[in-house]
């Protein structure tokens, strides 16, 4: 028998209404980077959660280094040197970096020779060593809640390494990162491989697979379609196999028909909690039928700009007008009612209820209006019919349709649901922040089509994205934000991605 470090044989896992993994068998060699590719809801996270001991398969077997194992918890998996960085991080927010890393594995010493206590000094030294060895810089005494996602991810990686994991599972690690951070992470993964680690990488980004992976397994609706040698397979082939049809890499978009101005932002300045100007004297307007895209490296004020327009943050000075009416001081609810839809970066913070059903979440913004409520009485049949139609249009996949609890849906499908709900508000202005983060290419294609359709209906679109490709593909007008300022606003047809990239780095004349 060949020496596989991980072997999963005939794994089947069912959830109510769905076979998440259907007789899947994979074999992973020591020291390889093994990618898992598949649409949202294809069963990638489920398969890896079983390898990490979070679920038990309904049938099938798992072998680690040739030995058959049964994991009842992730502790069992850790004991077999398996580590996982989850799609949604699992750190304790009010603990420090070091406390999170050593949690459950604390080195002990005896205080005054008797009382057992945690040996923080040893822990800190070990963490410092690891972070130096792999170039994963952290400050052990920082609190998690104060750290940006990219650093939290480093902490998650260190946590695996601290447990001496040899098999490292990354579940969509790059979905939350900026392009620069992605480069860095891919380098780290390369470094880990050099150190003899085996890496399983779940990602939707085929170019990442091309860059770093040796082999790639493709899952489609729970079934293993194929395992490919990455170097000898084209990106287009991988994309088609994953979606099960021919994928178009660029959206069909006709030239814009601009209508009246919908949003006017004048000399807007926004201050953060530390009294620091994060948006500085920004002015622009968006017409009906126009996609105004803001390009910029993460953290240059684009999130705060969107928050200020939606009313989540106060304007420090300047004004915001919607269809000629000043809304600078309006509440969030007033802005929504006036016709603003908002899909912010932090999706879980915007009125999705993880323990409600999909259908309830989809109707959340209209349940108190006709036809969902008549004279104060809710019509649940309406909820279900409405959900059915959105599930169809936006291809939202889940085990039990509208009755599925949101929490049990795959990350990407939760996201599709929020985007669907906001687009269906038929607003005058829709603000999209990173609308396709974490989505598979088929789903991205679909959302792009919906955004263009709204624009063609005359809606004004503000699109904020860290993906330059997405900006270039969708924008009618591009604004580049740098250090809180709009450095450049121009018709999209007059700029190349190279120009935009330069402005994003703060170069004034491209
Ligand atoms: N705990 C659960 N309860 C019920 N259904 C679940 C549960 N976990 C996953 N599912 C369902 O199993 C299917 C596979 O989900 P999974 O999270 O593995 O997909 P995925 O490939 O990781 O997708 P994504 O790219 O969107 O993260 C989905 O239809 C999902 O709704
Ligand atoms: Mg997943």
Q: What is the pLDDT of residues 60-102, one digit of tens each?
A: 999 999 999 999 999 999 999 999 998 777 888 889 999 999 8
What three-state secondary structure class fits 357? Answer: strand
The length of the chain, given as a count of residues: 510
Who surrounds ion ligand 2 at CB < 5 A? 45, 87, 411
Give Cβ neighbours of residue 248 (< 8 Å, ≥ 6 apart). Answer: 445
| 41 in contact with ligand 1, CB cutoff 6 A | yes
What three-state secondary structure class fits 465? Answer: strand
| 442 in contact with ligand 1, CB cutoff 6 A | no
| 477 in contact with ligand 1, CB cutoff 6 A | no
Atom index in ligand 1 nearest the CA of residue 21 equals 14
> Is the CB of residue 51 less than 8 Å from the CB of residue 28?
no
Ligand 1 mean position, distance from CA 40 (Å) = 8
Give the domain ranges of the chain.
4-243, 250-339+427-510, 352-425
Helix (H) or strand (E) holding 162: helix 149-162
> Is the CB of residue 72 less than 8 Å from the CB of residue 53?
yes
> Is the CB of residue 40 less than 8 Å from the CB of residue 416?
yes
Please tell me the least confidently modeled range out of 127-136, 165-174, 340-349, 450-459: 340-349
Rounded to the nearest 10 degrees, the angle between the axes of helix 120-134 and helix 179-194 is: 100
| 37 in contact with ligand 1, CB cutoff 6 A | no
| 20 in contact with ligand 1, CB cutoff 6 A | yes
Ligand 2 mean position, distance from CA 462 (Å) = 28
Residue 74: name the closest of 104, 29, 44 by CA.
104
Atom index in ligand 1 nearest the CA of residue 13 equals 12
pLDDT, position 38? 92
What three-state secondary structure class fits 183? Answer: helix
pLDDT, position 351? 65
pLDDT tops 90 at residue 45: yes
pLDDT tops 60 at residue 309: yes
Ligand 1 mean position, distance from CA 46 (Å) = 6
CATH topology of domain 4-243: Rossmann fold (3.40.50)
In the block, which residue shows the tokens 């390369």?
A: 190
The alpha carbon of residue 228 and the mean position of all alpha carbons in its chain are separated, in whole angstroms, by 25
The C-alpha torsion from 89 through 91 and 93 to 99, rounded to 10°, is -160
Give Cβ neighbours of residue 509 (< 8 Å, ≥ 6 apart). Answer: none
pLDDT confidence band for 250 (50 / 70 / 90): low
Ligand 2 mean position, distance from CA 468 (Å) = 24
Residue whose CA is at the smallest distance from ligand 1 atom 3: 408
Helix (H) or strand (E) holding 5: strand 4-15
Which residue stretches of 275-327 are H helix? Answer: 302-310
The domain 250-339+427-510 having CATH identifier 3.40.50.300: the answer here is yes
CA atoms within 13 A on the CB side of 473: 19
Please tell me the least confidently modeled range out of 73-82, 176-185, 430-439: 176-185
**What's the rounded mean pLDDT across residues 207-219?**
95
Sign for the pseudo-dihedral over CA of 437, 443, 444, 449:
negative
């Amino acid at each position: 028998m060949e020496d596989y470090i991980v072997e999963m044989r005939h794994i089947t896992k069912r959830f109510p209404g769905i076979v998440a993994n259907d007789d899947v068998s994979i074999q992973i060699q020591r020291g390889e980077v093994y990618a898992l590719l598949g649409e949202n809801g294809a069963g990638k996270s489920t398969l890896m959660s079983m390898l990490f001991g979070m679920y038990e398969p309904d049938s099938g077997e798992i072998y680690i280094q040739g030995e058959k194992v049964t994991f009842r918890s992730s502790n069992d998996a850790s004991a077999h040197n398996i580590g996982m960085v989850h799609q949604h991080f699992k750190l304790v927010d009010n603990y420090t970096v070091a406390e999170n890393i050593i949690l459950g594995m604390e080195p002990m010493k005896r205080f005054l020779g008797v009382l057992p206590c945690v040996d923080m000094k040893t822990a800190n030294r070990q963490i410092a060593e690891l972070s130096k060895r792999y170039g994963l810089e952290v400050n052990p005494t920082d609190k998690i809640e104060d750290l940006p996602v990219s650093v939290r991810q480093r902490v998650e990686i260190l946590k695996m390494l601290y447990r001496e994991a040899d098999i490292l599972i990354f579940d969509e690690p790059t979905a939350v990162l900026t392009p620069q951070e992605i480069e860095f992470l891919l380098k780290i993964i390369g470094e880990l491989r050099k150190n003899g680690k085996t890496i399983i990488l779940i990602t939707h980004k085929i170019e990442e697979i091309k860059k770093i992976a040796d082999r790639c397994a493709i899952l489609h609706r729970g079934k293993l379609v194929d395992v490919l040698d990455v170097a000898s397979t084209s990106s287009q082939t991988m994309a088609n196999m994953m979606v099960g049809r021919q994928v178009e890499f660029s959206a069909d978009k006709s030239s814009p028909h601009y209508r009246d101005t919908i949003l006017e932002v004048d000399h807007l300045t926004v201050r953060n909690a530390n009294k620091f100007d994060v948006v500085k004297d920004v002015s622009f307007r968006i017409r009906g039928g126009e996609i105004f895209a803001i390009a910029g490296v993460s953290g240059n004020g684009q999130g705060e700009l969107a928050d200020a327009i939606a009313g989540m943050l106060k304007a420090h000075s300047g004004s915001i007008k919607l269809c000629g009416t000043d809304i600078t001081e309006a509440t969030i609810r007033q802005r929504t009612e006036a016709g603003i839809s908002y899909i912010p970066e932090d999706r879980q913070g915007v009125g999705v209820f993880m323990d409600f059903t999909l259908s309830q979440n989809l109707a959340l913004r209209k349940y108190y209006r006709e036809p969902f409520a008549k004279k104060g009485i809710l019509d649940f049949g309406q909820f279900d019919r409405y959900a059915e139609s959105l599930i169809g249009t936006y291809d939202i996949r889940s085990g039990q349709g509208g009755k599925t609890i949101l929490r049990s849906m795959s990350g990407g499908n939760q996201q599709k649901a929020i985007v669907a709900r906001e687009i269906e508000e038929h607003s005058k202005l829709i603000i999209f922040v990173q609308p396709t983060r974490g989505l598979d290419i088929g789903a991205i294609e679909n959302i792009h089509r919906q955004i263009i359709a709204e624009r063609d209906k005359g809606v004004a679109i503000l699109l904020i994205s860290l993906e330059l490709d997405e900006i270039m593909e969708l924008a009618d007008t591009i604004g580049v934000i740098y250090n809180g300022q709009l450095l450049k606003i121009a018709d999209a047809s007059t700029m190349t991605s190279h120009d935009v990239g330069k402005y994003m780095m703060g170069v004034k004349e491209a």
